[in-house]
Structure formats: structure tokens, C-alpha cells
């Protein structure tokens, strides 16, 4: 089946129905397991890229957890998102080693360049910025990771200029500049 072209994570209508089919498979597998809620939410987010309202409703219907409880769990953990993210997710490490090696200057540079703050997405849905606690690559500090649906690349020893160059490289790849 031909996919509709779209630069965001929002699935096209064909994918949408298959996504719900996948969700039902997950629910089937885990609905009776003790302590299943977080596992189901993690898998649902993998399928949809975030947790749309209808998905939460569906999980509630099948598992019997109230929507209020699900919402409580979703908002407690940093991993869960209620809004879609951009095509490129920038995970900027704010661990101690990155902090003492200048991660703040990197954040300022990225925020200035993209015009967004932590946890926000650019209007063209290309970039989302997320500050994270520690990526565990402390020897390469300051570090960031760029995630797409397919890839996961870590970049180390950043400077404000090299961070912006990374963004430009992606824009060039996307034919935007």
C-alpha cells in the first residue's frame, strides 16, 4: 500500500487503521497481566509516536483502568507524550558532566536557532527538543542524541557552532536550505 507523504510522525489514514490493529494485539497480549499499564502505554507510544486521546480511551475500555488513572500515570513519567513530536527528536544531555562542560551554551544555541524551548516542536514539525538527564556518554560531554523513527545517532564534544551545523545538515538533507 502506498504511504501518503508527510514529514511528521502523524500516521496516514492507512497506517492509522493498522496502528489500531497493532494496539489491539498489544492489549490482547497484556490485558490480564499483573501491573500491565506502563508496559501497554510504552508499546502504544511506540506505535503512535505519542498517546492520542482515543488511544487512552481504548486502553481504558479493554483493561478496566480508569482514564483518570491512566492520565495520572502518563503525566507522572517523563517518557510519555500527549502531543506528537517532530521528525527529528533532539535529546540534549543535561547530566552533570555535560553541565560542567557547557551544555547550557549548547541549549541556548539550539533554542535560539530553532525558536523553541525544551519539550517544544518547531512549527514545521521537523524538530522537537527534549532535555534529558544523562545519556551516559559522559566522556564525550557535551552530548546530544538525534532520534528519528529509524535511526539514533549520538554526537559528542559539541560546541554551539557544531550543534547548529548539525541542524543545518538535517535541513539540507530535507531540502529546506
Binding site for other proteins (CB under 8 A): 34-39, 41-42, 72-73, 76-80, 94-97, 99-101, 132-141, 143, 152, 154-156
In contact, 40 and 28? CB cutoff 8 Å:
no
CB of 99 to other proteins, least distance (A): 5
Taking the C-alpha atoms of 53, 55, 57 and 59 in order, what is their torsion angle to the nearest 10 degrees?
-150
3-state secondary structure of 29: helix
Identify which of residues 80 and 88 has a Cβ nearer to other proteins in the complex: 80
Please say which residue, 20 or 155, places its beta carbon nearer to other proteins: 155
CB 85, min distance to other proteins, A? 15
CB of 139 to other proteins, least distance (A): 3
Coil/strand/helix, residue 24: helix
| CA–CA dist 153, 140 (Å, integer) | 13
Amino acid at each position: 500500500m502506498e504511504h501518503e507523504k508527510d514529514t511528521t510522525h502523524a500516521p496516514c489514514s492507512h497506517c492509522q487503521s493498522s496502528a489500531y490493529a497493532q494496539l489491539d494485539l498489544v492489549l490482547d497480549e497484556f490485558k490480564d497481566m499483573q501491573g500491565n499499564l506502563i508496559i501497554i502505554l510504552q508499546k502504544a507510544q511506540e506505535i503512535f509516536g505519542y498517546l492520542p486521546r482515543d488511544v487512552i480511551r481504548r486502553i481504558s475500555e479493554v483493561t478496566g483502568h480508569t482514564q483518570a488513572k491512566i492520565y495520572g500515570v502518563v503525566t507522572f513519567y517523563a517518557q510519555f507524550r500527549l502531543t506528537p513530536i517532530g521528525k527529528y527528536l533532539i535529546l540534549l544531555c543535561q547530566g552533570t558532566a555535560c553541565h560542567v562542560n557547557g551544555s547550557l551554551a549548547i541549549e541556548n544555541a539550539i533554542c535560539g536557532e530553532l525558536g523553541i524551548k525544551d519539550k517544544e516542536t518547531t512549527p514545521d514539525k521537523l524538530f522537537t527538543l527534549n532535555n534529558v538527564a544523562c545519556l551516559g556518554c559522559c566522556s564525550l560531554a557535551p552530548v546530544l542524541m538525534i532520534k528519528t523513527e529509524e535511526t539514533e545517532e549520538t554526537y559528542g564534544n559539541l560546541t554551539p557552532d557544531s550543534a547548529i551545523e548539525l541542524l543545518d545538515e538535517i535541513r539540507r538533507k530535507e531540502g529546506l536550505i
